[in-house]
Structure 1
Amino acid sequence: MARVNIALGQRSYDILVQAGALGSIVEHIKPWVQRGRTLWVSDSQVAAHHWDGIAVQLAEAGIEAHLHVVPAGEASKSWAELSRLIDWLLTWGVERSDTIFALGGGMIGDLTGFAASIVKRGCEFVQVPTTLLAQVDSSVGGKTAINTTAGKNLVGTFHQPRFVLIDPEVLATLPPREMRAGYAEVVKYGLIDDAAFFDWCETHGQQVLAQDSAALEHAIVTSVSAKARIVGEDERETRDRRALLNLGHTFGHALEADTGFGERLLHGEAVGVGMILALQYSARRGDCDAADAARVAAHFAACSMPTTLQDTGVSSEGAALVDHMRHDKKMTGGTLPFLLLTGIGQTYVAHDVDLDDVARFLDERHRSAAPAAVL
């Protein structure tokens, strides 16, 4: 068990990592139960696995529980599902003093957090993440959003949760592909500024994916501790510090947009390939050694994760992928900051990247044949 605090003054909150925590959910959420009832949001797959056990515990404690279920999948991060969720909350008479509970992966956390931030001009919410990606990344830091036809996460708010409850044991229900996708975000923390953690991942990554309890808890605690530190220094990404957490995302979001934000390419898979592309582009600029990119690609390949544009199934030309990047919410004055690297554990923000050159680079990568990984 470990407890990590995000220090944000009055918006500070704890992240509790405890195996089996869902089996004692009542003791963990009591501080946020108002009026003897709780409002929960989950998706169809997560609810099927976990809701009955939670509902029984709440009922035994005399706590009224209401659940809103959205269809599983990234497509539910939409205006339509946001509208339905808000209507449901208002139907149940949600008040500003109420806390809304998000039970699910990154999609549920983003959707619920966004709804909580705007209904009645803002309600509290608690994150109970059930995927590895959500546990190590999206449940922490207060970014909420939905997707639009223009791109990913372009409409949203900063709205910090009051508490994050992470139970590594719930990951036993995840398909292996989802575990691998979440693992990409674990590796990200090593690539940002912790080369020793990347070394650890190379040695213990297979144990994390096999859900060895000690390795999995170490990966989660190290990841959320790193994110807590960075968010505490730059909560709203007004400086380059928090932007480091976007490593792999500029390339990755373009790949997701090109594949339709769905099951064809999972977010973590796109970010993993995006980080390799960032390293390869950095090497092309002379910022780092090409061996660094090869080393990361080799680790992901050993974990049966996609490593190339060919693996993702993306066939669009570089110019089309760059057009997706032009919709990035970080565009300022016609320029887009890129997360590049001078080596493993040495990420920095580059403000001088020519998008036309990025398009040429992506076309070069398309022509670079490589064996496909297993998705």
Structure 2
Amino acid sequence: MAGKTNNHGLFTTGEPVSAWTVSTALPVTYQVAFTPQLLNPGNPALASAGATPGRRLVVVEETVHALYGDKIRAYFGTRGLAVELGVLAAHEEVKTMESVFRVAEWMDHFGVSRRAEPVIAMGGGVLMDVVGLACSLYRRSTPFVRVPTTLIGLVDAGVGAKTGVNFGRHKNRLGTYHPAVATLLDPAFLATLDQRHLSNGLAEILKVALIKDRKLFELLDRTGEALIDQRFQGPTPGGEVLVRAVHGMLQELQPNLWEHRLERSMDYGHSFSPTVEMRALPELLHGEAVCLDMALTTVLAQRRGLVETAERDRILGLMRRLQLPVRHPLLEPETLADALTDTIRHRDGRQRFPLPVGIGDGCFADDLTAAEIGRAATELEELACVAP
């Protein structure tokens, strides 16, 4: 029987059999869809997402509950579904296992069924990460539905497969891959978002633009300030910006959902930023830290001849017009060295460092030095000081 298989992925070794190799695959299908008027009782999308008629446990971020709690209850009441709301504070300082355990307690008290009653997560990226991790752990896999209510949740945290919480001083150090069965995107939630959180989300859109989509960059350069003013609700083509950002993310995620390949263009802006963000807490939002990373790496790329000086200045200028930071005291040698060390561990012993090539393309570097990074940080500080 040596080396034989039963054609179902079970291989045996030895005679008599003394070892087995199990080969299997987990098919994954999930939906991401723009769904306007999500809380209109005439819209069945939220009630039917990933489930048959029944009860629903909705975990909602506390600010979202204050704004939309009555509408959420009215929606499910009109649809004839019993609903229970769990209201959770969700920001980086409470993105911990304690929050995960709280969600798990709600799931246990609710008596959520194993497959037919997906938990609904309504909030920003932190809320969706926490609920996703709780669902991945509860009975080892409980389905959930994501309803992002922030711009960064809509274009970034809501569309992938990762869940996670912070651990010690490390961002998202504990987590799983557990995609939601459905993510429902309704830009109407952005109408109640403040300027800072709109800018925060625009940083992740700018990431996609800089590393792979020049047309998206041109759209942001032309309309970004109006999108902030109108909160993506006005005549400015915010819909095209959102669609291109989501599509660009999913194009990169789909062939490498489990990150078996560690060279990932969507890691652009995420090499120094995790360390900077955690050390600055609660000062910086996630997108703000990402923008600082992109500003620094834009200068790095320009110094390497990958980005023209005029392109560098155009990029930094757009960051400022989007009301995003391009300088911070933590862009200093010790923090940047620690960040690079941690990134190398995260990428399995190599830098695999995404750098822009012009505007809308990218490459990977494995040979950045501390001296080179330090010179780029000094130049960025000088550029920031002389900027209009």
TM-score w.r.t. the length of structure 1 is 0.88
Is 1:144 the equivalent of 2:166?
A: no
Q: Secondary structure at the match of 1:96?
A: coil
Paired position in structure 2 for 1:51 = 69
For the aligned residue pairs, the C-alpha RMSD in angstroms reads 2.4
Q: Name the stretch that deviates more: 138-147 or 249-258.
A: 249-258
Contact 1:319-1:359 within 8 A present in 2 as well: no
Aligned partners of 2:171, 2:42: CA distance in 1, in Å?
32
Paired position in structure 1 for 2:367 = 352
Contact 1:193-1:346 within 8 A present in 2 as well: yes
Is 1:207 the equivalent of 2:226?
A: yes
Paired position in structure 2 for 1:116 = 135
Paired position in structure 1 for 2:111 = 93
Deviations 1:113-132 (A, max 9, x none): 11111110011111100001
Residues 123 and 221 of structure 1: is their aligned pair in 2 closer, same or farther, counting only changes over 3 Å?
A: same
Paired position in structure 1 for 2:260 = 238
Contact 2:271-2:339 within 8 A present in 1 as well: no
Is 1:253 the equivalent of 2:271?
A: no
How far is the alpha carbon of 1:55 from its aligned partner?
0.9
Q: Secondary structure at the match of 2:357?
A: strand
* Structure 1 unmatched runs, 5+: 1-7
Paired position in structure 2 for 1:217 = 239
Paired position in structure 2 for 1:228 = 250
Q: Name the stretch that deviates more: 106-115 or 14-23.
A: 14-23
Aligned partners of 2:212, 2:190: CA distance in 1, in Å?
27
Contact 1:322-1:359 within 8 A present in 2 as well: no
Aligned partners of 1:153, 1:24: CA distance in 2, in Å?
36
Residues 25 and 132 of structure 1: is their aligned pair in 2 closer, same or farther, counting only changes over 3 Å?
A: farther
Paired position in structure 1 for 2:32 = 15
Aligned partners of 1:150, 1:48: CA distance in 2, in Å?
31
Q: Name the stretch that deviates more: 204-213 or 183-192.
A: 204-213
Contact 2:306-2:356 within 8 A present in 1 as well: yes
Q: Secondary structure at the match of 1:257?
A: helix
Residues 40 and 371 of structure 1: is their aligned pair in 2 closer, same or farther, counting only changes over 3 Å?
A: farther
Q: Secondary structure at the match of 1:237?
A: coil
Task: Pick one of 352, 356, 364 that aligns with 1:337.
Answer: 352
**Structure showing greater relative contact order (alpha-carbon pairs closer than 8 Å, 6 or more residues apart):** 1
Over the matched positions of the two proteins, sequence identity in percent amounts to: 29
How far is the alpha carbon of 1:31 from its aligned partner?
4.2
Q: Name the stretch that deviates more: 170-179 or 343-352.
A: 343-352
How far is the alpha carbon of 1:52 from its aligned partner?
1.3
Aligned partners of 1:372, 1:95: CA distance in 2, in Å?
57
Higher helix share: 1
Residues 61 and 332 of structure 1: is their aligned pair in 2 closer, same or farther, counting only changes over 3 Å?
A: closer
Number of matched pairs = 359
Is 1:74 the equivalent of 2:89?
A: no
Residues 75 and 288 of structure 1: is their aligned pair in 2 closer, same or farther, counting only changes over 3 Å?
A: same
Aligned partners of 2:200, 2:387: CA distance in 1, in Å?
16
Aligned partners of 2:137, 2:368: CA distance in 1, in Å?
36
Q: Name the stretch that deviates more: 321-330 or 282-291.
A: 321-330
Paired position in structure 1 for 2:83 = 65
Is 1:190 the equivalent of 2:221?
A: no
Task: Pick one of 284, 292, 303 that aligns with 2:311.
Answer: 292
Which has the higher Rg, Structure 1 or Structure 2? 2
Amino acid at match of 2:173: L
Residues 127 and 330 of structure 1: is their aligned pair in 2 closer, same or farther, counting only changes over 3 Å?
A: farther
Amino acid at match of 1:300: M
Contact 1:141-1:228 within 8 A present in 2 as well: yes
Aligned partners of 1:133, 1:316: CA distance in 2, in Å?
23
